[in-house]
C-alpha cells in the first residue's frame, strides 16, 4: 500500500484567523475485511487539503460517495457544512449562516438531513437540532418545537431521536419529534451515539471509576430500558464506528482496533496508520461499502 495520500480538489483559500475550533483533518481509506481479524486499507486520500489549517470534523456518509462534514476555515467565525463528493473529487458548501452547524446526518426519510445548530439569541447561546432538505430548496427548520440543549444525537426512526441533552447533569434520552417528550436512558454518557444494524442503540458511558464502557440498549422493550455493557473502551477514547456486521471500530493514536462481541475476547489491532502522518485519531465514520473517514489532528 502506497504511503502517498492524494489531495482533494480545492477551490477556497483561507484568510485571517478568528476564534477557531481545534485544528483537525479528515482522511479516507477503502477497507477490505479479509477475515475476522485481518483488514486491508487501500486508496488513501487526504480530503481536507482545502482547509489544512482549519477545523474539519464530524464526517457522515449520506451515500457511499457523499460525505458531509463540518468545517471552519480560518476566515470563518463559525463552522459550516460541506458536501465532499468522493466520486467526482469535488466539494460543495451546503450552509452559509451566522450560526455554526455541526454533526450532519441523513434523516430516515432520505429527503432531509439534520445538524446541530449553535445559535446566538441576544446574549444567550442556544443549541438546537435542525433539519434541512437534501435539495437545499428551503432554509430548514428546527426538528423540535421547544427542545433545546442537544449536543449529540442519532436517529432511531422518523419519529424518534436518541439525544445527548446538555444539562446538569447531562443525560441520554429518547426524544419524540411530534411531542418533544423525553424518555431518559442514562447519565454520564459520552458524545458517541450509534444505532446498530440489529436496531439497538449503542453509546459510551462512564463508570464510577471514570472509565468509559460501550453500552448496548434494546429499543424493543420500551418498559424496561436497561443498557448492557459490551466492552471497556480503549483508554482515553470515547468515539466508535460500527461495521455492517455489528463489529465496533475504535481509533487510538495512529491505530485502529476492532471488536465483535460474538467472536472476539478483546480489542484487536487492525491497522497502524502512522506512515500516513495520522497520529491522533478522534472520530470515525464508515460507509455501507466500507470506506472509512478518519478525523485526526
pLDDT tens digits, 162-220: 999 999 889 999 999 999 999 999 999 999 999 999 999 999 999 888 889 999 999 88
Peptide bond into 89 cis (omega under 30): no
pLDDT digits (tens, 9 = 90+) for 30-67: 999 998 889 999 999 999 999 999 999 999 999 999 99
Which among 179, 151, 148, 155 is positioned nearest to 105, based on CA atoms? 155
Residue at grid coordinates 437545499: 136
| Chain mean pLDDT for the chain | 91
Read off the pLDDT band of 21 (50, 70, 90).
confident
* Burial group, residue 258, by CB count within 10 angstroms (0-12, 13-18, 19+): buried
Q: What is the pLDDT of residues 108-147, one digit of tens each?
A: 999 999 999 999 888 888 999 999 999 998 899 999 999 9
Q: Residue written as cell 470515525?
A: 284
Q: Is the dihedral of CA 48, 131, 107, 237 positive or negative?
A: positive
Does 16 have pLDDT greater than 50? no
275: phi then psi, degrees, rounded to nearest 5: -65, -15
Work out the pLDDT band at 20, boundaries 50, 70, 90: low
Amino acid at each position: 500500500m502506497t504511503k502517498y495520500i492524494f489531495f482533494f480538489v480545492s477551490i477556497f483559500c483561507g484568510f485571517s484567523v478568528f476564534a477557531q475550533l481545534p485544528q483537525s483533518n479528515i482522511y479516507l481509506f477503502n477497507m477490505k475485511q479479509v477475515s475476522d481479524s485481518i483488514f486491508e486499507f487501500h486508496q488513501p486520500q487526504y480530503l481536507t487539503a482545502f482547509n489544512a489549517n482549519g477545523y474539519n470534523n464530524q464526517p457522515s456518509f449520506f451515500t457511499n460517495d457523499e460525505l458531509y462534514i463540518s468545517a471552519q476555515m480560518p476566515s470563518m467565525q463559525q463552522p459550516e457544512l460541506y458536501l465532499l463528493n468522493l466520486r467526482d473529487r469535488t466539494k460543495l458548501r451546503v450552509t452559509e449562516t451566522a450560526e455554526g452547524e455541526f454533526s450532519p446526518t441523513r434523516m430516515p426519510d432520505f429527503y432531509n438531513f439534520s445538524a446541530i445548530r449553535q445559535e446566538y439569541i441576544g446574549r444567550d447561546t442556544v443549541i438546537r437540532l435542525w433539519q434541512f432538505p437534501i435539495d437545499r430548496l428551503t432554509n430548514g427548520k428546527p426538528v423540535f418545537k421547544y427542545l433545546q440543549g442537544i449536543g449529540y444525537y442519532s436517529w432511531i426512526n422518523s419519529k424518534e431521536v436518541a439525544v445527548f441533552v446538555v444539562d446538569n447533569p447531562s443525560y441520554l434520552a429518547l426524544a419524540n419529534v411530534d411531542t418533544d417528550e423525553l424518555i431518559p436512558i442514562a447519565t454520564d454518557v459520552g458524545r458517541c451515539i450509534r444505532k446498530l444494524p440489529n436496531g439497538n442503540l449503542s453509546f459510551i458511558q462512564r463508570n464510577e471509576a471514570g472509565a468509559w464502557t460501550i453500552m448496548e440498549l434494546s429499543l424493543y422493550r420500551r418498559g424496561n430500558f436497561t443498557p448492557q455493557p459490551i466492552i471497556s473502551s480503549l483508554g482515553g477514547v470515547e468515539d466508535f464506528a460500527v461495521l455492517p456486521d455489528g463489529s465496533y471500530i475504535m481509533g487510538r493514536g495512529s491505530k485502529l482496533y476492532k471488536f465483535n462481541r460474538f467472536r472476539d475476547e478483546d480489542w484487536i489491532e487492525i491497522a497502524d496508520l502512522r506512515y500516513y502522518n495520522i497520529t491522533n485519531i478522534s472520530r470515525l465514520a464508515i460507509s455501507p461499502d466500507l470506506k472509512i473517514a478518519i478525523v485526526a489532528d
